[in-house]
A = this chain, B = another copy of it.
Amino acid sequence: MAIIVQKYGGSSVADTEKIMAVARRIVHTVQQGHQVVAVVSAQGKTTDSLIAQARAISAHPPKREMDMLLATGEQVSIALLAMAINSLGQPVISLTGAQGGIMTDTQHTKARIRVVDGARINQELEKGQVVIVAGFQGVTSTNDITTLGRGGSDTTAVAVAAALGAEVCEIYTDVDGVYSADPRIVPEARKIGEVDYSEMLELASLGAMILQPRAVEVAAIYGVPIHVRSSFSENLGTTIKEVNVVEREIAVTGVASDENCAKITLVGIPNDVNVLYHIFSSLAVESINVDMIVQAGTTKNITDLTFTVTQEELEPTLNTIAKVQGEQDWQVICDENVAKVSIVGAGMMTNPGVAAGMFEALNNENIPVFVVSTSEIKVSCLVPRPDYQRAVRACHRKFGLDSAK
């Protein structure tokens, strides 16, 4: 009898009717002969409302107490879902993160799972019960409640699946899988049946709303297959697993895009790695994530440096740069009117000329490229924001993704 871990997000348990639908799906899975562990998030906007309550009391509440507060959100969900499943006649038990053996480090509000002690979950499964585990939360070795931060419930589900040796970790969401491009931009985008862990990570901008990168990383380490599928249908979704690259015929799996970019160019900085070090370490201290970095190759003493950050981080970035710059004679140019378009595919490694194909597609559309960066399975181009949707469509067409599989 295989163990299946199912994860249901906050929108899937937002009200009584939706909770009953999830309960029926779980019971249906049991009736098909599986043991089911369900990992559940807080209902709908519960977490936001709890955060608002905390902010009304203190601008900087202690993180341990935030976790104490936020953890109640999932505790409500698991209890209600257990009641719903019980009302269908199926034995069931709910477990908090602590009870479910989700052991974390002590970084409150962004704890990382150290180990999942599956003893209690296994014991309850052996009694023939469905086990409902609170996502997003865990407990430290001193019995203090932690939360895992953004994407925590996905990570809980994958970690539990790994600990139990589950056959699959199903992530139920409001979309029916991962698409070759954002269907709002490319109506011809198609659902990807299978995708490699590394591709999924690179497709983050397509998949982030569906599946958190942290969860994909854990799944890759433990080899847990993830099946992203819709809460509202029985259709198969997208399976994320280790895909044998040698067999790949398709060079490009999908086209990702990200509007949330700002480009910063430092003109006339010293051509000195020490300067680079100072700039990027100062940004790291401020917890600013730098995405693309390009330095024009030159033999001169003076060079230009371009990099991108999210728009929210533009202002703190400029402040930090100003401090590093001090009295030095640089020019700082920034451009918020840009977007990033990426082609992703594990098959790219064995298919030469993929980057060239992308440039050709953009060139045919007269779309300029400001910055290029590449990895083994991805080519990203920074383009003018007004052009980026056209760029996505051009790339999608160019690599044959429009055609039915």
Contact = CB atoms under 8 A, between A and B. Distances in A.
Contact of A19 (B57, B84, B96, B145): B57
A319 B73 CA distance: 43
Q: Which of A66, A120, A143 has the most CB of B within 10 A?
A: A143
A56 B94 CA distance: 18
A71 B79 CA distance: 10
Given A75-B69, A75-B72, A75-B75, A80 B53 contact: yes
Contact of A83 (B61, B86, B99): B61
How many copies of the shown chain assemble into the complex? 2
A62 interface: yes
A58 interface: yes
A27 interface: no
A54 interface: yes
Contacts of A16: 53, 56-57
Contacts of A80: 53-54, 57, 69
A51 to B, nearest CB: 11
B58 A84 contact: yes
Contacts of A377: none
Interface of A: 16, 19-20, 50, 53-54, 56-58, 61-62, 64-66, 68-69, 71-72, 75-76, 78-80, 82-84, 86-87, 93-94, 96, 98-99, 120, 143-145
Nearest to A145: B96
Contacts of A84: 57-58
A120 to B, nearest CB: 8
Contacts of A58: 83-84, 86-87
Nearest to A75: B72
Contacts of A75: 68-69, 71-72, 75
Nearest to A19: B57
A367 to B, nearest CB: 50
A210 to B, nearest CB: 28
A297 to B, nearest CB: 52
Contacts of A69: 75-76, 79-80, 83
14 contacts: A16-B57, A53-B76, A58-B86, A61-B86, A61-B87, A65-B79, A68-B78, A68-B79, A68-B82, A69-B80, A72-B76, A75-B75, A99-B143, A99-B144
